[in-house]
């Protein structure tokens, strides 16, 4: 990951069982990639963020899809714990179906447990997840909260870092192939070749990124990593907690709470997979 910063590199080292002094790691990065460090500094941007507060792990999970590679029929699916920032799942597929989004979410619940509430956008790809949350956590308590994707700040921040560390590399390579006349994205055979070659590599890079992210120190939390913070604060949440405890201005409560019989839960999907 050539675009990874200091904390992400440290997270990757920790995930590999290597604990290196901070100054030694920084010195090594400056020695082997001084130009890259300078480039990252020049591209840094200040982002104004809302205040955010949830009770603990599993209180609120943030889910979303990322379409930076949709031109090549590749969609990224991600979920992050709102309290610890731990990545619950991060993967890629060739479609944006509700069943696909649900399969990734269900797998994460088997590994990490079912969150008390889920925050997602109003896209039809989240329909099955919403139905699952209503069935397991109940209706009338905001088990699934919908809203504008740009206000889903935990997952949007994750997508920014995924783009810098992973997705941009694939986007640039595929775009270069197009410009050189070696790839026609409207050709099903070309798209199948792209997916056959690049998706396994993309998934491997996303797995590497996830391990690094879940072990990188959080500046605002005393240097604790999402993995340690998540495990260290495991607690049984009161199912009757009030909505006021979710202090996230990005949630528009008047229109965000989907009901079990909501019209916004009509099933639908978009198939991006080329036919054989």
Radius of gyration of the chain (CA): 20
Separation CA 7–CA 110 (nearest Å): 29
Whole-structure pTM value = 0.71
Separation CA 74–CA 93 (nearest Å): 6
Task: Show me where the domains of the chain are located.
Answer: 6-46, 61-213+225-265
The tens place of each residue's pLDDT in the chain, 276 residues long, gives: 556 666 666 666 766 777 777 667 667 766 766 666 555 555 555 444 555 667 788 889 999 999 999 999 999 999 999 888 899 999 999 999 999 999 999 999 999 899 999 999 888 999 999 999 999 999 888 899 988 766 687 898 899 889 988 999 999 999 999 999 999 988 999 999 999 999 999 999 999 999 888 886 665 555 566 666 666 565 545 444 555 555 554 554 444 444 444 433 333 344 445 444
Residue 146: per-residue pLDDT: 87
Superfamily of domain 61-213+225-265: Ribonuclease H-like superfamily/Ribonuclease H (3.30.420.10)
The residue among 48, 76, 80 whose CA lies nearest residue 163 is 76
At 116, list the tokens.
């008390």
- Bridge pairing between strands 75-81 and 144-146: unpaired
Q: Maximum CA pair distance of the chain? A: 59
Whether residue 171 contacts residue 69, with contact meaning beta carbons closer than 8 Å, is answered with yes
Does residue 188 sit in helix, strand or coil?
helix
Residue 272: per-residue pLDDT: 46
- What letters, b where the CB count within 10 A reaches 16 and e where it falls short, cover 134-159? beebebebbbbbbbebebbbbbbebb
Whether residue 80 contacts residue 60, with contact meaning beta carbons closer than 8 Å, is answered with no
């Amino acid at each position: 990951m050539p675009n990874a910063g200091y904390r992400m590199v440290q997270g990757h080292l920790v995930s590999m069982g290597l604990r290196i002094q901070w100054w030694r790691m920084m010195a090594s990065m400056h020695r082997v990639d001084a130009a890259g460090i300078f480039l990252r500094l020049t591209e840094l941007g200040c982002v104004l963020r809302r205040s955010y507060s949830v009770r603990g792990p599993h209180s609120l999970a943030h889910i979303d899809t990322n379409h930076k590679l949709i031109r090549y029929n590749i969609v990224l699916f991600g979920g992050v714990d709102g309290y610890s920032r731990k990545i619950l799942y991060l993967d890629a597929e060739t479609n944006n179906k509700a069943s696909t989004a649900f399969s990734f979410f269900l797998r994460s619940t088997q590994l990490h447990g079912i969150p008390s509430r889920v925050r997602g956008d109003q896209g039809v790809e989240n329909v099955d997840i919403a139905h699952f949350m209503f069935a397991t956590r109940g209706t009338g308590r905001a088990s699934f909260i919908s809203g504008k994707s740009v206000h889903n700040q935990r997952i949007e921040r994750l997508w920014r870092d995924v783009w810098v560390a992973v997705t941009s590399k694939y986007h640039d390579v595929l775009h270069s192939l197009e410009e050189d006349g070696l790839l026609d994205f409207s050709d099903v055979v070309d798209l199948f070749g792209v997916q056959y070659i690049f998706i396994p590599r993309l998934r491997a890079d996303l797995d590497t990124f996830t391990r690094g992210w879940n072990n990188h120190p959080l500046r605002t939390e005393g240097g604790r990593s999402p993995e340690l913070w998540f495990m260290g604060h495991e607690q049984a949440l009161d199912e009757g907690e009030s909505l006021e405890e979710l202090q996230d201005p990005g949630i528009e409560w008047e229109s965000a709470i989907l009901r079990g019989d909501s019209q916004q839960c009509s099933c639908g999907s978009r198939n991006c997979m080329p036919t054989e």
